[in-house]
Structure 1
Amino acid sequence: MDIVLITTVIAALFVVIGVAEPLAARLRLPYSVILAVLGTLIGVGAIFFLRTELTDALNPVAEAILGLPIRSNVFLYVFLPTLLFQATFGMNLRRMLDDWVPILVLSVVAVVVATVTVGYALSWTSALPLAACLLIGAIVSTTDPSAVVSIFRSVSAPRRLARIIEGESLLNDAAAIALFGLFMGFVMLGVPDPKLSDALAQFPVLVAGGVLTGWVTARIAVWMMAAFGRYELAQISISVALPYLAYIGAEQSVGASGVIAVVTAGITLNLTAPGRLPPQAWANMREVWGLLAHWAGALIFILAALLIPRLLEEVRLSDFALVGVVILAATAARAVILFGLLPLLSRLRVSPVVERPYRAAILWGGLRGAVTLALALAVTESFRVPDGIQRVVGILATGYTLFTLLVQGTTLRLVISKLGLDRLSAIDEALSRQVVAVALQTVREDVARTTGNYDLGHEIVRAEAKRFGERLDAAVKTAEESADILDRDRITLGLIALAGHERDTIIVRVRERTISARMADQVLSDADRLIEGARSGGRSGYQRAARRSVAYGTAFRTALLLHNRLGVSVPLARLTADRFELLLTQRLSLRDLDGFIDGRIRRIHGRRVADLLRELLARRVELVETALEGLRLQYPGYAEKLERRFIRRTALRLEEREYTAMREDGLIGAEVHTALMQEVAERRARAEERPRLDIALQRRELVAQFPLFAGLDEAAIRRLSRALRTRYANVGDVLMRKDSPARSVFFIASGAVELEAAGQTWRLGRGEMFGELSVLKRMARRAEARAITPSALLVLDEARFRRLLRRSARLRQAVQESAAKRGISIDMPPAA
């Protein structure tokens, strides 16, 4: 085929892509539906002009359209990796983890249930073998990411609903394509009645292989990007290659799921790259991928739609009944999961509650699209699949896809509206009226100043002021009618606004590079949790989210366990450094919120609400400061290094701003500005490197600052730091059990410990020790010790403790005082 003609057709398709978006906005229909309709019309038109005798002028164009090399591998190996990678690349993974149970249920369990339900329903109502029926079930069980995500982003759906839909549509392709490959093999081998257990047994291998391939490929890619730190185009080029190498490597080399590999690669890049790449390079990379995914999603829909007339050429009347069976079975299977399994998991406290309107929207939002058509096309292309099965698979998959797009897709906006998911709550409506009144009052004051500065005509000013005053009076009257908002609701709305402003402040500081890209996603996720916590639980929900933002998570507790039990300190050092930086970032953001409360919230909600919000903000600041102080006590000197790094980065930002201002004022030329900015960029790259947290070195600093070891010389401190083990304890951890053998002594470097024995309780703090009396008396422990705050302890075994006791008069005195306080007499070893 003539390359000029193919290029012309592809260029024309891009014109169609450009026209489709404003057309979809004008018709208030989903973009993907418009693309599917236009593609189908183009395919029908090409067939019509090729077969009609009215004219032959358009035959070359029609032949070029129908002769495009549209194969299933083009969809699966060219377009699908791009769509999956960009969807994973752009999502907020930390927020999605809050709903990981419903997402996994919908993306794995629902796919298996839909495959089985559709398969057996077709087996009972048609003459097809069970293997072919299950193959059709696997094909139609996947929701298309480009169809679903684009629709839910175009309508005013709640964020949580969009997250669940995006997560499901992203991950269920892996399950569906894996099942498709298994049942496709049964059909090609002529196995009429496969065992479902044999198929599912291979599923974990596909998943594990895909996860490993995607993770390794992404880690290598991130390492290469970090090595090319000053070459942004090189970094973007490597990111473009990443999903394809992961997909092909998993499918062709490992024999695993390419979809899982791409998703894993995207997640790995999303979590690790922001801390390794310059912020601007990361932002530009996301913009490039947004454009690539837009083109890929549009082309995959148009090209897949071009196939629809061809796939439906041999449709029969009886096929419509089978399409109806597929629609009913697939919908019923999805409804069972949404309205049966998910509520059950919520009652068992396994899954967070997914509200009924959300579940109804998810049921109707399970659209099929290009992925379903691509899998059906793969069946029709295989010469090893019988012709009768090829025809039925193509017709049923195409018919079901058209139903979801033309019926569900065109009515999804209406369904969301009927469910009330696109409307403001009564509280938000009342707030919006008050916000409009306050905003218009501010605008009137600014307009008055502006007209005075420009010395405009008095008649014009008077006429426009009258019109604006009428609008302001109407807004004030409406606000007064809704002024009966309860104080509780005003506090909730104020907290939502406060958390929203905090989020905006974080985004500004990330762009200014005051907050590192490594911490950006984490602090933004915390701000999102504050917003949702305030929206769902008011003041208590906001406070829970605030406490969670400074609490030790599961990953940190796991790292503590690895360090305390196995001596593996690398994960603990990394997570502790992250916690340091996170707390410093939170403290920086919180200091900017007082002005927002006084300047904005007070004008809308009044002094009483503003004072209460300031009190809640003060509690958050105290939480952060307490957590930071605890880390400073555990790791003396490290917080100072991080704060110095922050000051250096702030100074570089200000220096950069000054050079830009001088360039705009004409004080320096373009050449000088470029040289100065390059120098700043080199220093910024060095300042971005976070100081390494060395736990062993920190232990030596702790020993040197410990009051009981003040009399030791430097050599003795070095020997002691090697002998001591560092143990970290969370609130409630048992450090020493009653009646356990006495083999070590504990020194409290930071935190607090409670001892309980014989009905008495003692509390010990920093600089004190416990466990020494049982060691000296050579008897079992008589007390139980439990951490009552996050604590760091230094642990010394019995033999080294006795040797240290002989050399340190200060330590012997402390032991004697501790024994006398508890009324216990001991025999001290002689001094060395």
Structure 2
Amino acid sequence: MIKNELDITQFFWLILIGFVVALVARRFKVPYALALVVTGVIIGASPFLPQARLEPSLLFRVFLPPLLFEATINLRLEALKRDWKPITIYTLGGTLISTFVVGAIVSVVLGIPFKVAFVFGALISATDPIAVIGIFKRLGAGKRLTLIVEAESLFNDGVAVVLFAVALEIVAGRNVSLQGSLLQFLRLMMGGIALGAGIGWLAARVHDGLDDHLVEITLTSIVAFGSYLGAEALHVSGVMAVVSAGLVIGNYGMQSSMTPGTRLAVTAFWEYAGFVVNSLIFLLIGIEATYVHWNDKWLIVLVANVAVLVGRAAIYPLSWVVNRIKGDVPSAWQHILFWGGLRGALSLALALGLSRDFPLREMWIASTAGVVMFSLLGQGITLSPLLDHLQKTETPEADPEGKGRLMSEVVAIRAALLELERAKAQEVYPTWAFTLLLRRYQERLEQAEAALRTINPGAETPSIVVTTQLRESLFLAEKSAYQEAERSGWLSAEDWQKIAQRIDLELIALSSEKRE
């Protein structure tokens, strides 16, 4: 797609179309991902609009690393540890059961050898959380439900891709024993995790000696793509390598080795990268669907969709197991997990990547495209009303006294004080500025801590006009700490938006002062 001038032109037009769709979707409150898929179908069916194809190598080597990395640097290990039981059971148990169930149903109904159908079961078990998470955010779904869905899908992708690789070896006759297949599965999984964690750890150490947001953004880009390409070279799981590298960078490199300003810059860069890549992917899914030779394959597509839904229903017995070990997944959440297990670009790319001589290749591509389109358009469109019906916007714990907000404020002020000490050590700003700001932040800290003890917020301290550059760095430190508090669950999304807006207005005002 991006190999010559024509392809670059296609890339430009797709970005432009994605931008227009984003504006329209925002205006009419339509799920962005679903609007992109429909737009992609229109593009593919029109001879007058730019055409492009979803090449497997493009998805795996260019699109997948930034998508996985952007998602994992925002996952907090503390939250994952709290919900490791449901995430682990759904990831391993759900993916394995789904793969075998789908393979068995397709094999029996269509009369296809199980080992061939098992390949389809593996590739179609990879779920895509992007559309679901977008709907969750729009409707204000709870943090814990969102975390479980996103984490389960991320790790599920890694497991599904590894199962797919093992299944291909079985079809090729290289791994015919259960023991050999299991060892290959573990080697691919653990090898990818170890490689990614090692690369992430080394990068985190390098971050310690840096204080340049452009250099550090470049370093994180090297980690994202390098971990995937390195895993490919070593024949281990690239997906698990990127996921583990992202977790290490997000929880250690960014938190302990980056200044608040750099952390915000890195986060903003990857958020933008994720947005662009997702826009391209969903457009390409819609376009690719128009290239599939459906013809007489509608019955097969129907069988595939039924098989996938039956396989996904493993969520219910697995949830019973989770709740038996105090995993606490309500029944309404189980319905969301079942219906929200959408399939996306990863499944389609795996199908398109099957070798030309693979048995029934065209049928598998059509079946995969049919499942992906049904899940994104059918399940995706009905997920919003289902959330409303089940009242599945997670009700936050009652906090009428604002304890979470006060805790977040204390953490944010302490972060600003640390940034103040760092700036003071550089001896760039006048001493009087530090004295005034130190007094201001100490007063705010004392008031916040007193309010936290008594649950009675104190009065605001007067604003102090000092060196604008120094104030800007402190505001950035505050914003970064508040953002971390929101991710950790201390601060509600609504409060975080208000605080971020307030700090952004302060930063805009400072920018105006600089220009004057």
**TM-score, normalised via structure 1 length:** 0.50
For residues 461-518 of structure 1, what are the alpha-carbon distances to aligned partners after superposition, in whole Å with 9 as ceiling and x for unaligned?
xxxxxxxxxxxxxxxxxxxxxxxxxxxxxxx5435x222332244235435546999x
Partner of residue 133, structure 2: 149
Residue 204 of structure 1 pairs with residue 186 of structure 2 = yes
Partner of residue 399, structure 1: 370
Give matches, 1:236-315, under 5 Å. 236-253=217-234, 255-273=235-253, 274-311=255-292, 313-315=293-295
Between 1:202-211 and 1:326-335, the stretch displaced more is 326-335
Partner of residue 494, structure 1: 400
The higher-RCO structure (CA 8 Å, 6+ apart) is: 2
Letter in 2 for 1:329: A
Q: After TM superposition, give the deviation of residue 592 of structure 1 in Å.
A: 4.5
Q: After TM superposition, give the deviation of residue 599 of structure 1 in Å.
A: 5.8
Residue 7 of structure 1 pairs with residue 8 of structure 2 = yes
d(CA) in 1 for partners of 2:263, 2:305: 43
Partner of residue 150, structure 2: 166
Residue 88 of structure 1 pairs with residue 89 of structure 2 = no
Q: After TM superposition, give the deviation of residue 314 of structure 1 in Å.
A: 4.2
Residue 383 of structure 1 pairs with residue 356 of structure 2 = yes
Check conservation: 1:32, 1:147, Cα contact below 8 A.
Answer: yes
Letter in 1 for 2:186: P
SS at structure 2 position matched to 1:310: coil
d(CA) in 2 for partners of 1:30, 1:263: 26
Give matches, 1:648-687, under 5 Å. 661-663=465-467
CA shift in 2, pair 1:515/1:231, >3 Å: closer
Q: After TM superposition, give the deviation of residue 310 of structure 1 in Å.
A: 1.0
Partner of residue 483, structure 2: none
Check conservation: 2:145, 2:394, Cα contact below 8 A.
Answer: no
Check conservation: 1:140, 1:397, Cα contact below 8 A.
Answer: yes
Q: After TM superposition, give the deviation of residue 91 of structure 1 in Å.
A: 2.1
Residue 411 of structure 1 pairs with residue 382 of structure 2 = yes
Q: After TM superposition, give the deviation of residue 287 of structure 1 in Å.
A: 0.9
d(CA) in 1 for partners of 2:357, 2:14: 33
Partner of residue 764, structure 1: none
Q: After TM superposition, give the deviation of residue 589 of structure 1 in Å.
A: 6.1
For residues 785-817 of structure 1, what are the alpha-carbon distances to aligned partners after superposition, in whole Å with 9 as ceiling and x for unaligned?
xxxxxxxxxxxxxxxxxxxxxxxxxxxxxxxxx
CA shift in 2, pair 1:366/1:514, >3 Å: same
Check conservation: 1:326, 1:400, Cα contact below 8 A.
Answer: yes
Partner of residue 828, structure 1: none
d(CA) in 2 for partners of 1:256, 1:130: 25
Give matches, 1:140-539, under 5 Å. 140-187=124-171, 189=172, 198-227=180-209, 229-253=210-234, 255-273=235-253, 274-311=255-292, 313-316=293-296, 319-336=297-314, 338-347=315-324, 349=325, 351-379=326-354, 382-386=355-359, 389-422=360-393, 493-495=399-401, 497-511=402-416, 513=418
CA shift in 2, pair 1:321/1:195, >3 Å: farther
d(CA) in 2 for partners of 1:137, 1:4: 38
d(CA) in 1 for partners of 2:395, 2:228: 42
SS at structure 2 position matched to 1:230: coil
d(CA) in 2 for partners of 1:264, 1:328: 33
Partner of residue 126, structure 1: 110
Check conservation: 1:107, 1:175, Cα contact below 8 A.
Answer: yes
Equivalenced residue count is 448
Check conservation: 2:319, 2:334, Cα contact below 8 A.
Answer: no
Check conservation: 1:117, 1:333, Cα contact below 8 A.
Answer: yes
d(CA) in 2 for partners of 1:117, 1:109: 12
Letter in 2 for 1:597: N
Letter in 2 for 1:287: A
Check conservation: 2:322, 2:329, Cα contact below 8 A.
Answer: no
Partner of residue 530, structure 1: none
Check conservation: 1:83, 1:146, Cα contact below 8 A.
Answer: no
For residues 123-175 of structure 1, what are the alpha-carbon distances to aligned partners after superposition, in whole Å with 9 as ceiling and x for unaligned?
10113222221111111111114333333223321111101001111110100
Match of 1:73 among 43, 57, 75: 57
For residues 541-567 of structure 1, what are the alpha-carbon distances to aligned partners after superposition, in whole Å with 9 as ceiling and x for unaligned?
xxxxxxxxxxxxxxxxxxxxxxxxxxx
Letter in 1 for 2:335: A
Partner of residue 44, structure 2: 43
d(CA) in 2 for partners of 1:506, 1:515: 14
CA shift in 2, pair 1:122/1:404, >3 Å: same
Partner of residue 32, structure 1: 33
Give matches, 1:550-629, under 5 Å. 590-594=449-453, 597=456
SS at structure 1 position matched to 2:191: helix
CA shift in 2, pair 1:588/1:178, >3 Å: farther
Query: What's the % identity of the aligned pairs?
Result: 27
Partner of residue 23, structure 2: 22
Check conservation: 1:118, 1:329, Cα contact below 8 A.
Answer: yes
Tell me, which stretches of 5 or more residues in structure 1 are unaligned? 50-57, 429-491, 518-585, 601-656, 665-672, 685-832
For residues 322-379 of structure 1, what are the alpha-carbon distances to aligned partners after superposition, in whole Å with 9 as ceiling and x for unaligned?
322222222223223x2212223322x2x42101111111111111111111111111
d(CA) in 2 for partners of 1:87, 1:334: 23
Check conservation: 1:32, 1:298, Cα contact below 8 A.
Answer: yes
For residues 258-306 of structure 1, what are the alpha-carbon distances to aligned partners after superposition, in whole Å with 9 as ceiling and x for unaligned?
1111111011112211112212111211111111111111112212322
Q: After TM superposition, give the deviation of residue 28 of structure 1 in Å.
A: 3.5
Partner of residue 804, structure 1: none
SS at structure 1 position matched to 2:328: coil
d(CA) in 1 for partners of 2:179, 2:94: 17
CA shift in 2, pair 1:383/1:335, >3 Å: closer
Letter in 1 for 2:412: I
Check conservation: 1:498, 1:597, Cα contact below 8 A.
Answer: no
SS at structure 2 position matched to 1:400: helix
d(CA) in 2 for partners of 1:157, 1:677: 33
SS at structure 1 position matched to 2:291: helix
Q: After TM superposition, give the deviation of residue 238 of structure 1 in Å.
A: 0.7
Give matches, 1:44-63, under 5 Å. 44-45=45-46, 49=47, 58=48
Letter in 1 for 2:302: G
Check conservation: 2:448, 2:457, Cα contact below 8 A.
Answer: no
CA shift in 2, pair 1:364/1:119, >3 Å: same
Partner of residue 503, structure 2: none
Partner of residue 435, structure 2: none
Check conservation: 2:61, 2:228, Cα contact below 8 A.
Answer: yes
Check conservation: 1:506, 1:515, Cα contact below 8 A.
Answer: no
d(CA) in 1 for partners of 2:134, 2:345: 13
d(CA) in 2 for partners of 1:588, 1:246: 46
Check conservation: 1:39, 1:303, Cα contact below 8 A.
Answer: yes
d(CA) in 2 for partners of 1:153, 1:262: 24
Check conservation: 1:144, 1:368, Cα contact below 8 A.
Answer: yes
For residues 552-610 of structure 1, what are the alpha-carbon distances to aligned partners after superposition, in whole Å with 9 as ceiling and x for unaligned?
xxxxxxxxxxxxxxxxxxxxxxxxxxxxxxxxxx999634425752569xxxxxxxxxx
Check conservation: 2:406, 2:448, Cα contact below 8 A.
Answer: no
SS at structure 2 position matched to 1:494: coil
